Structure 1
């Protein structure tokens, strides 16, 4: 399976992308949701549920539109939850001591760094799914839509 690069070197900090805990541990700034959305859009990444979304897109109407809307509502809800937690993590990160230990003491990052990278990655997946779903829903209208 081909690995898709979701972020450009401009989003890296000291060799790490925002999807890696060490990005934050080494002082990288959390990206805004808008930046995450734009980077996801530019990467062409389709998310972990791409096969399920493609299968739903192949269904006959009106089941297709109904299923796509259900999936969209689920991923939008997930995104809202992840965004809320991402913001909490950013607040917590700002309250922690960001002073780096000397190189001999660095062995692992903290839980907040891991939480931020995970929420970032969850948002990337949710944005990827929503981008694909919005495109599919725009291509063909529901038969019952007046």
Structure 2
């Protein structure tokens, strides 16, 4: 089986990010579609991912009213972080749209620009922020045990 050289890659593969996920710089380098906040939320919901923060689980194990207080405190912190990440993601996407998808360096090699890395990283930040917020929302929608 012969492989198609990168320059002859079908355009449809290029539009989808070449098989890479939106969290990877090459996804953007290969022309993958920028995901909006609603699309990122759909990705999180579809995956079932709940994030990496252990303090959410620790807060869930507290008795009421400490449980709800701690969860609300974490939620407020996460909302601030989400807003900051979303603002930066929008800046990166704006910069990404001004950047050619296939840059060649002075030596002729193909490499992704720092903006591709930034876009992938900010996607991951938003993905985690949303996973944590979903997890907190689910925890706050259930009444904790008042007597531990």
Distance 2:16 2:61 in 1: 38
Aligned mate of 2:69, from 56, 60, 66: 66
Structure 1: runs of 5+ lacking an equivalent: 1-10
Distance 1:110 1:99 in 2: 9
Poorly superposed stretches of 4+, deviation over 6 Å: none
**Change in CA separation of 1:13 and 1:97 when aligned onto 2, cut-off 3 Å:** closer
Residue of structure 2 in register with 1:30 after alignment? 34
Aligned mate of 1:19, from 19, 23, 26: 23
Shift of 1:55: 1.1
* 1:19 and 1:117 in contact (8 A); partners too: yes
Distance 2:31 2:145 in 1: 48
Root-mean-square deviation (CA, aligned residues, Å) is 2.1
Q: Pick the structure with greater CA Rg.
A: 2
**What is the 5 A alignment of 1:1-146?**
13-49=17-53, 51-101=54-104, 105-106=109-110, 108-140=111-143
Distance 1:111 1:99 in 2: 13
Structure 2: runs of 5+ lacking an equivalent: 1-14
- TM-score, length-normalised on structure 2? 0.81
- TM-score, length-normalised on structure 1? 0.82
Shift of 1:41: 1.1
